[in-house]
Amino acid sequence: MTETTQPQSRRIQRSADSQLRRNWAKLRRNKTALVGGILILIYLITALLAPVLFPSNPSAPNLSRSLERPSIADPLGTDELGRSILGRVIYGSRVSLLIAIGVVFVGLLVGVPLGLVSGYYGGKVDFGIQRVTDTLLAFPGFLLALALVAVLGVGLKNTIISVGISMVPIYIRLVRGCALSVREQTYVEAAKAVGTRDRIILLRHILPNVMIPITIQTSLGMGTGILSAAALGFLGLGVQPPTPEWGAMLGSGRAYLFHAPHVATFPGIAIFLAVLGFNLAGDGLRDVLDPRFRL
The dihedrals phi and psi of 78, each to the nearest 5 degrees, come to -125, 165
Question: Residues touching another protein: how many (CB under 8 A)?
Answer: 26
DSSP 74-93: STT-B-TTS-BHHHHHHHHH
Q: Minimum CB separation from another protein for residue 185, in Å? A: 6
Nearest CB to another protein, comparing residues 160 and 191 = 191
Q: Minimum CB separation from another protein for residue 272, in Å? A: 37
Q: Which window, 48-56, 91-99, 200-208, 239-247, contacts another protein (CB under 8 A)?
A: 200-208
Is 176 a residue that touches another protein (CB under 8 A)?
no
Q: What's the CA gap between 271 and 274, in Å, rounded?
A: 5
Is 215 a residue that touches another protein (CB under 8 A)?
no
Q: Who's near 27: CB < 8 A, 6+ residues apart?
A: 33, 34, 37, 284, 285, 288
DSSP alpha helix (H) spans, 66-205? 85-121, 123-138, 141-152, 156-183, 186-193, 198-200
Nearest CB to another protein, comparing residues 128 and 140 = 128
Nearest CB to another protein, comparing residues 143 and 200 = 200
Q: Residue 84 forms beta bridges with which residues? A: 78
Q: Minimum CB separation from another protein for residue 180, in Å? A: 10
Q: Give the closest residue to 174 by CA, choosing from 290, 293, 288, 34.
A: 290
Q: Which of 40, 160, 191, 285 binds another protein (CB under 8 A)?
A: 191
Q: Who's near 223: CB < 8 A, 6+ residues apart?
A: 100, 274, 275, 276, 277, 278, 279, 282
**Range 3-22, binding another protein (CB under 8 A):** 5, 8-9, 12, 15-16
Is 94 a residue that touches another protein (CB under 8 A)?
no
Is 186 a residue that touches another protein (CB under 8 A)?
yes
Under the rule (CB under 8 A), what is the footprint of another protein? Answer: 1, 5, 8-9, 12, 15-16, 122, 185-197, 200, 204-205, 208-209
